[in-house]
Structure 1
Amino acid sequence: MSVKSGSLEKDTSDPEIVSVHQHGVYRPEVDTSGVDERRLLRRIDWHTVPWLALLYLLNFLDRGNIGNAKLYGMTTDLHINNTQYLIALTVFFFPYALFELPSNVALKKLRPSRWLAFLMFVWGVAMTLHGIVDNYGGLVGLRILLGLAEAGLYPGIVYYLSCWYKRSELGTRVAIFFTSATIAGAFSGFLAVAINKMDGIGEKPGWAWIFILEGLFTVCCAVASLWILQDFPDTARFLNETERVWVIRRLQADSKFSAGGETFKFKYIKQSLTDWKTWLARYEATTANLLSVPPYVWSCLVTVIVGFVGDRTGKRAYINITLFSTGLVGYIILLTSRSPPLSYFAVFLAAAAIYPTVPNSVAWVSSNVEGSYKRSATLALAIGWANINGAVTSNIYRSEDAPWYRMGHGIVLAYIAIGWICSLAFYIMLRRENARRDAGERDEIIEGVENKHAHERNGRFASVEEARMEKGDEWSGFRYSL
C-alpha cells in the first residue's frame, strides 16, 4: 500500500528540503493554535483578490478598446481597410500566447509585485502610444508589443492565487477576479462614449484619447502595484511570522508540498511538457476562452456561483461536462434559429454555460499539478494555447455572414464539443490514475520502509518527504481532484 503523508520523516540531506525547512514549513517551535482561520483568510482575500480583479479589468479594457476606437473613426484616420484591421487584431494573440510560459517562470523567480508591475507598465505605455500612432505599420507593431506585455497577467494571476489558497478555495477566487472581464465588457462602451467627447482637444481625435487616457491610468496602476501587491506567503508583509507558518502548513497539508519554497530546476518545466495533463488541459481551456457573448451581468453572476459550488463540492469534472453540454444546446440553437427572440435566449444560455468553464477549468488544472514551477508552466501552456485561438475568433465572425453568422457559430460549436470530450477524458484518466495509486502501482522505494508494492521504476528516495518534493503530483501519495 502507498505510504501516506502522515508517516513523513524529516530529512536534511537534500539542500532543497533544507531550504523548505528554513522557510518555516515544519517549525515545531512556532505555535499557530491562536490563528483565527476565517479572519486571516478574509484578510488574505482583501490583500489579493480586489487588486488582481482591477488589474484584469484593465487588461480587458486595454485589449478591447481598439474596437471602440474603430467605431469612432480610427480606421478612417489611419487609412487602413478592414483586412488590415483584422490583421492588427490577429497579430496580438501570437505573442500573447507564446510568451505566457516564460512570463510565468519569470514571475516565480523575480517576484509577482515586480514582474506584474513591469508588464503593466509596458502595456500601459504601448496602449498610450496607440493614441499617437499615425500609420498601419506602427499600429501592428504596437499590437505585437501589447500582446507580449499582456501575456503574463492572466496565467500569472491564476498561478499567484494557487500559491495562497487550498485546492478547495481556488475556484471561487479565480471566478471573482475573472468576472472583472465581464464588467470590462459592459463598461468599456460607456467609457468610450464619455472619452470620445474629448474629440479635438489637443488636436487629437476622440478615439486617440480612448487609448491615451486608459493607457496612462494603467501606467499609474503599474507603479502602485509595486507597493500594493504582496508576493508569496513566506514573505508577505501583512502577515506576521506565526501567520506565515500557518498559511504554508495548511497549503502543504493540502498536498501543495512546495509551498514553503522551491529551487528552480529545468526538470520541472520538462515535467510539465511531458505530462499528459498539460496537453489535454490545453484543448479543454481552448474552448473555455472562446467567449464573446453580450449578457455580461448574467455571465458574471453564474460564474461566481459556479466557482463557489466547485469549491464546495470539488466535482469540477461534472460541472465542466454539464456546462459544456448546456453550451452545446445554446450554440445549436444559435446555428439553427431564425427567430431573434429565440436566438437572444440562446445567447444567455450559451453565456451562462460557457463563461464559467474558464475559471472552473483553470482551477481544476491547477489543483491537479504539484510543484510551483511545474504548476506555473502548466497553467501558462494551457492558457497560452487557449488564447492563441483569439486569432481564430477575430476572423470567424465576418460582416458578410450577418445577421446569423453560421460559420462563426459552427466553429465555436465544434470547439465546445472538443471541450466536452476533453473534460470527460481528463476525468476518466485522473480517476484511473487515482485507482492505480490506491492499488500501490505507483509506490516508490523509500529507504528503511517496508512496502511490498514499492518498485524501482517509481524511483528510490531517502524519505517520503524527499519523494514528495522531487515527484510533485507524480508522488504515489498525491490524489487528483475530480
Structure 2
Amino acid sequence: MEEKKAAALSAEETSAAPSLNNNTAIISSDEETQGWSTQATKRLLWRLDWHIIPFMSLIYLLCFLDRTNIGNARLDNLEQDLGLKGVQYNDCLAVLFPFYIAAEIPSNMMMKRVRPSVWLTFIMVCWSAAMIGQGFVRNYTQLMVTRALLGVFEGGLFPGVNYYITQWYCRHECGFRMALFFSAATLAGAFGGILARGIAEMSGVGGMAAWQWIFVLEGLLSILVSFTAYWFIFDYPGTARFLTEPERSEVQRRLKEDHGHLSNDFDLKYVFQAIKDWKIYIHMLICMAGFCPIYSFSLFLPTIIKNMGYTANNAQLMSVPPYVCACFFTIAASWFADRARQRAVFMLGFQLVGIAGFSMLVATANPSVQYAGTVLAAIGIYPQIPLGLAWNSGNIGGSLKRGTGIAMQVMGGNCGGIIASYVYLSRDGPRFITGHSILIGFVGMAFFLTSFMTIWCRRENARRDALTGSSGPQELTEEQKALERELADDVPWFRFTV
C-alpha cells in the first residue's frame, strides 16, 4: 500500500495542470514525439477512455440517481406516509445543497492530497450508507438529516471527477470526456423513471412502502459498486497499470506539452488565487443558471408530467424520453465543441433552445405541446454544464488553482439547487407557470453572462496579442517559466479559449 502511495505521489508531481497559451506551443527539443503517429495517439486515447470514463460515468449515474430519486418516491406516497405539509418536501430537497456546496472545495483539496482511488471510494461508501438509511426514516426530521448527510458525501464527486479528468487529457480533449461523464445524469433520470416504475410493484413487501424500497434498493446498488471502486479507479498516468511504460511516458509528455510550466505544487496561495479571480465567479453564476433548471427538472419532472393528466405509473415512464434526447445532445455537442475548440457558441445555442422549451410549457395547456416543451427544455439545459466546465477549467492556470476553480464553479451551480427546490410549489400546480417563468429568467441570465465572457475573452486575447506580438512558437526563458508558475493565466502569453 505504501509503495502504491509513493508511486502515486511521484506521478502526481508530473501530472497535469491546466492549459497554456492557445496560440503558442512551447515544446523543448527533448519533448519531441518519438514514434507516436496520429493513429497511435488515437489508440492511446481510446485506451484511456475505456479504462477511465465508463466507471466514472457509472458512479456519477448512481450519485445523481441517489440525489434525485426522491422525485420518483414522491409519486409513491412519500409525503403522505411521512406527514409532510406545506413546503416541508421542498425543505428536504433544499437541505442537501448547503452541505453539498460546503464539501466541494475541501474535497477537491483532498483529491490533490490523497489518491483519487482512496478518496472517491470513501465518499461513495458513505453516501450509499446514507441512501439506505433514507429508506427507514419515519418523519420529516429524520428525512432532513439523511438528506444533509447525502449532501456532505456526494458533494465531492462531481467537481472531483471533473478535476480528475483534467489530470489525464489535454484541455481540448476534456470537454467530450466531461460530457460523457455528465451524460450519466441524463441516464440517471431515464433509468430512475424505469426503475421506480418497477419498484412500485413492491409496495407492501416486507412491510415497506414502494418509496422506501426505491431508496433501499438504489442505495444497495451504489454500495455494491463502491466496494469495487478502489480497484477500478486509477490514480495518475504515471502509475496506471493498464498502460505500458512507453504509453505512460507519452501521456505525461502530452500533458507537459499542453500544460507548460504551470505550478503543480500543493500550496494554499493557489487556492487564494482562485478565490480572488473574478472570472471564476462569472462562471459560477453561469453554472448556477444552468444547474437551477437541471435540478428543477430532475426533481419535479415526474410531478409535472403527472399534472398533464397521466397516471403516476405512466408519468414515471413518460419522464424517460426527455432524458434520452438530452443525453444524445449533451455528448454530441461536446464532441463537436472539442473539435471546433469552441465552447461559448454552443452554450449560447443550447440556452436559446432551453428558453424555447420552457416558453412552450408556459404558453399552452395542451399536453402534447407541453410534453414537447419538456423535451426541448432537457435538450437545452443539460449540454451547458460539461461545456461550461470545460470552458472554465481550460482557462485556469495551475493544478491546485484549477481544482479549486472547478470546485467553486460547481459550488455556484449547486446554489442553483437550493433555488430549484422551491421553484415548483404545490400551490402553483397543475401548470406551474411561475416555476417555468423563473427558469426562463435563469437561462436568460446564463445567455447574457456567456455572451459577456465570450466578448471579454476575445478582447483580452487581442490585447495580449498586441502586447506580446505574434512571434509564433518560442522557448521561454527560465525567468519566464518561474513567472508563469506564479501567475498562471495572468501571464501575458496565456490565451483564453472561447
Fold shared per TM-score above 0.5: yes
Report SS of the residue matched to 1:234. helix
Alignment-derived partner of residue 394 in structure 2 = 367
Residue 440 (structure 1) shift? 2.4
Matches within 5 A, 1:141-180: 141-180=145-184
Matches within 5 A, 1:220-239: 220-239=224-243
Residue 192 (structure 1) shift? 2.1
Residue 189 (structure 1) shift? 2.2
Q: Which has the higher helix share?
A: 2
Report SS of the residue matched to 1:231. coil
Code of the aligned partner of 1:187:
F
> Does 2:261 match 1:248?
no
Counterpart-to-counterpart distance in 2, 1:370 and 1:332: 39
> Does 2:404 match 1:402?
no
> Does 2:234 match 1:207?
no
Distance 1:24 1:181, change over 3 A: closer
Distance 1:24 1:263, change over 3 A: closer
Alignment-derived partner of residue 312 in structure 2 = none
Residue 353 (structure 1) shift? 2.0
Code of the aligned partner of 2:396:
V
Contact 1:200 1:206 in 2 (8 A): yes
Specify which of 285, 288, 307 is matched with residue 287 of structure 2.
Answer: 285
Contact 2:271 2:400 in 1 (8 A): yes
Number of aligned residues: 447
- TM-score, normalised to structure 2, is 0.84
> Does 2:472 match 1:468?
no
| Structure 1, 118-127 or 186-195: larger mean CA deviation | 186-195
Report SS of the residue matched to 1:94. helix
Cα offsets for 1:267-314 (capped at 9, x unmatched): 111111111211110111112212216511111111111011100101
Code of the aligned partner of 1:52:
M
Contact 1:21 1:27 in 2 (8 A): no
Report SS of the residue matched to 1:263. coil
Matches within 5 A, 1:269-280: 269-280=271-282
Alignment-derived partner of residue 122 in structure 2 = 118
Matches within 5 A, 1:2-401: 23=14, 28=30, 32-33=34-35, 36-255=40-259, 257-258=261-262, 262-289=264-291, 290-291=293-294, 292=297, 294=319, 295-401=322-428
Code of the aligned partner of 1:243:
E
RMSD between aligned residues: 2.6
Report SS of the residue matched to 1:53. helix
Residue 265 (structure 1) shift? 0.7
Contact 2:203 2:210 in 1 (8 A): yes
Residue 21 (structure 1) shift? 11
Code of the aligned partner of 2:484:
R
Counterpart-to-counterpart distance in 1, 2:60 and 2:15: 32
Report SS of the residue matched to 1:197. helix
| Structure 1, 55-64 or 472-481: larger mean CA deviation | 472-481
Counterpart-to-counterpart distance in 2, 1:400 and 1:77: 20
Distance 1:48 1:28, change over 3 A: same
Residue 400 (structure 1) shift? 2.4
Alignment-derived partner of residue 481 in structure 1 = 497
Residue 80 (structure 1) shift? 2.6
Residue 462 (structure 1) shift? 4.6
Counterpart-to-counterpart distance in 2, 1:104 and 1:45: 22
Contact 2:112 2:266 in 1 (8 A): no
Distance 1:463 1:240, change over 3 A: farther
Residue 114 (structure 1) shift? 0.9
Counterpart-to-counterpart distance in 2, 1:37 and 1:201: 53
Distance 1:190 1:364, change over 3 A: same
Counterpart-to-counterpart distance in 2, 1:187 and 1:249: 39
Distance 1:241 1:74, change over 3 A: same
Residue 28 (structure 1) shift? 4.4
Residue 350 (structure 1) shift? 2.5
Contact 2:350 2:384 in 1 (8 A): yes
Residue 243 (structure 1) shift? 1.9
Code of the aligned partner of 1:264:
F
Report SS of the residue matched to 2:84. coil
Counterpart-to-counterpart distance in 2, 1:190 and 1:344: 18
Residue 348 (structure 1) shift? 2.5
Contact 1:104 1:377 in 2 (8 A): yes
Contact 1:182 1:300 in 2 (8 A): yes
Counterpart-to-counterpart distance in 2, 1:48 and 1:188: 24
Structure 1: tracts of 5 or more residues without a match = 1-18, 450-460
Code of the aligned partner of 1:411:
I
Contact 1:32 1:243 in 2 (8 A): no
Contact 2:87 2:425 in 1 (8 A): no
Counterpart-to-counterpart distance in 2, 1:322 and 1:430: 18
Distance 1:341 1:114, change over 3 A: same
Counterpart-to-counterpart distance in 2, 1:100 and 1:273: 14
Code of the aligned partner of 1:54:
L
Contact 2:261 2:485 in 1 (8 A): yes
Distance 1:77 1:360, change over 3 A: same
Residue 381 (structure 1) shift? 0.8
| Structure 1, 31-40 or 187-196: larger mean CA deviation | 31-40
Counterpart-to-counterpart distance in 2, 1:107 and 1:395: 32
Alignment-derived partner of residue 7 in structure 2 = none
Contact 1:251 1:257 in 2 (8 A): no
Moved over 6 A (4+): 19-22, 24-27
Identity of aligned residues (%): 38
Code of the aligned partner of 2:408:
L
Counterpart-to-counterpart distance in 1, 2:127 and 2:182: 19
Code of the aligned partner of 1:214:
E
Code of the aligned partner of 2:491:
W
Report SS of the residue matched to 1:478. coil
Contact 1:57 1:183 in 2 (8 A): yes
Contact 1:257 1:370 in 2 (8 A): no
